[in-house]
Structure 1
């Protein structure tokens, strides 16, 4: 039985329990005061002080209830996220008839022995770009990028991330373990006779961008990274906001990291801000959507924080009219031109 289908009911019970407990406590306090009422002041200042204290107590109670509710909902959401977002996301993946270029269906082994499924198109210019999709998706989410890169002479290796699409894995891990799969992708590309130069770039969207940055920090074989909409690996990676609600959400990621580590039975990886500097002097392009999202705003703050720690080898492009990983939809021609120019410059490709 999948208990997650009953989670909305559990969530409602938790919220009602918090409210119900608070109301019951307040009712008990009022009954006690009604049975043993304190003496009422008779002077003006006495009545004023009594009223002010009463109002302050009500405000304090309301703020305390609100804080308790925020904490409970935040923890509850964290528990839900850990359980729901770590589940495998398998899907059938077929080569679309309108793909526009030939690919080979391939598999390779990750560093920890999982079989990754993907498509491979060999390069004409000696450079292969590993393409990584967003969380819970599969390789088809990166078809647009492949359609820009392959005609320009680049090879592509686009595969399903672990426990997604047709790749093996018992759980997903928000990118915590996925660099092991990139290790396997690098070994696959280096072993191909049709890629004798073995030069490798990476492009990823969302969690794919985060995995790309992690992997480039660990593996010097990766020569350049195009990362769009990347988030953090750990809570330390997140920017601190002056918005009180967003601040609480950010702080909630610290216990979330701990709970996620316990569930997966693995040590939490190094924060991205502590390793992104290792990529230098290899070039990085950090792409983000400029459209504000509810509560958390645009992606500029997150990408700016990564840029701060990356160094002079990194550049940032915030697309004002794009949402999360939406640049290719709002500005397809500009996006394609910038991405190709980035990889051309990184690998010395002349046209």
Structure 2
């Protein structure tokens, strides 16, 4: 009888372990594994843009499609081939910007911003993050390992393209990426950071998504998925922290966030602003959802961004 009870208990434990592994593996696939299409919690916000703003965006996207672009690449610290689009500005002012796209996006998603920066004399670098687009990698780094990649992109702009004044500008995951990069040892050529709709930490953002999509608490599922991510991708959700990194920032920082953002809660922008080191400013846009600021208030966005760039270059 005792052997039978032990056998049944062993089977139950084994089944539970298998179930835990399968569920954890499923969420790893949803959150971290490359290539999956996933649903995210993001309530629809009806955006209303003026005709002037619509015209600016449409013209910028059309202009980008007509540009001759150069594909550049680098080998990451862990031997991944990472690719980017580079646009050489005919003005050759020594200014350059790196544009960072969002979660499961591609470099071309940042197309609406390219003309603005080009018109200000910037060379443009648009990388595909590791695990995205044409870059290698079988996992999404949420900006954590990517911050080291961006240090290399910065070095490439300085060494190969003689960049003297560099800005980093990211949307969503790309915003968290540039915030994480801001806490690293950066060369003097990096003059400013622009982040639009970034999250505080990967754990807090995934907790938000888990709660709203599945009505589940973070513990224990997120913790187990974080362990699997450490094994398979080399980082945990806890360590991937934009808010910890930005405390070490010394560059001018412009934080942008939509007041109606349901994908990355707007309060995260305020938390980042309070934690950030260096000169900083924050702009919360009424009636704007996730990364909608440029669409909702294009002309004002450009004016504020131009002012930020001018002031950053005066320092």
Which TM class, normalised by the smaller chain length? Answer: 0.7 to 0.9
Q: Tell me if structure 1 keeps the 8 A contact 2:142–2:176.
A: no
Q: Which has the higher contact order (CA 8 A, sep 6+)?
A: 2
CA contact (8 A) 1:174 1:233 kept: no
Cα distance in 2 for partners of 1:98, 1:278 equals 35
Report how far residue 154 of structure 1 moved.
1.1
Tell me how far apart the structure 2 counterparts of residues 237 and 134 of structure 1 sit (CA, whole Å).
Answer: 14
| Pairs within 5 Å for 1:276-291 | 276-280=246-250, 282-291=251-260
In 2, Cα distance between equivalents of 1:78 and 1:315: 39
Match of residue 148 from structure 1? 116
Q: Distance in 1 between matches of 2:94 and 2:64?
A: 25
Contact kept? 1:237, 1:271, Cα under 8 Å = no
Rounded Cα–Cα distance in structure 1 between residues aligned with 2:271 and 2:185: 22
Q: How does 1:182-261 map to 2 (within 5 A)?
A: 182-192=150-160, 195-221=161-187, 222-235=190-203, 249=217, 253=222, 256-261=225-230
Deviation at 1:100, TM superposition (A): 4.7
Equivalent residues in 2 for 1:25-174, closer than 5 Å: 80-89=26-35, 99-123=65-89, 124-174=92-142
- Match for 1:305 among 271, 274, 282? 271
CA distance in 1, matches of 2:214, 2:105: 27
Could you say if the C-alpha distance between residues 103 and 341 of structure 1 is closer, same or farther in structure 2, counting changes exceeding 3 Å? farther
Deviations 1:110-150 (A, max 9, x none): 23222111111235322211100001111111111111100
Change (3 A) 1:174 1:190: same
Offset, 1:323: 0.6
What is the TM-score of this pair, normalised by structure 1? 0.65
Larger mean CA deviation between 167-176 and 321-330 belongs to 167-176
Asked whether the equivalents of residues 94 and 162 of structure 2 are also in contact (C-alpha less than 8 Å), the reply is yes
Ranges in structure 2 where 5+ consecutive residues have no aligned partner? 1-20, 37-60
CA RMSD after TM alignment: 3.4
Distance 1:246 1:306, change over 3 A: farther
Larger Rg, first or second structure (1 or 2)? 1
Partner of residue 179, structure 1: 147
Runs of 4+ in structure 1 off by over 6 angstroms are 75-78, 236-240, 243-248
Is there any run of 5+ residues in structure 1 with no aligned partner, and where?
Answer: 1-74
**May I ask how many residue pairs the two structures share in their alignment?**
264
Contact 1:146/1:156 (CA < 8 Å) preserved in 2?
Answer: yes
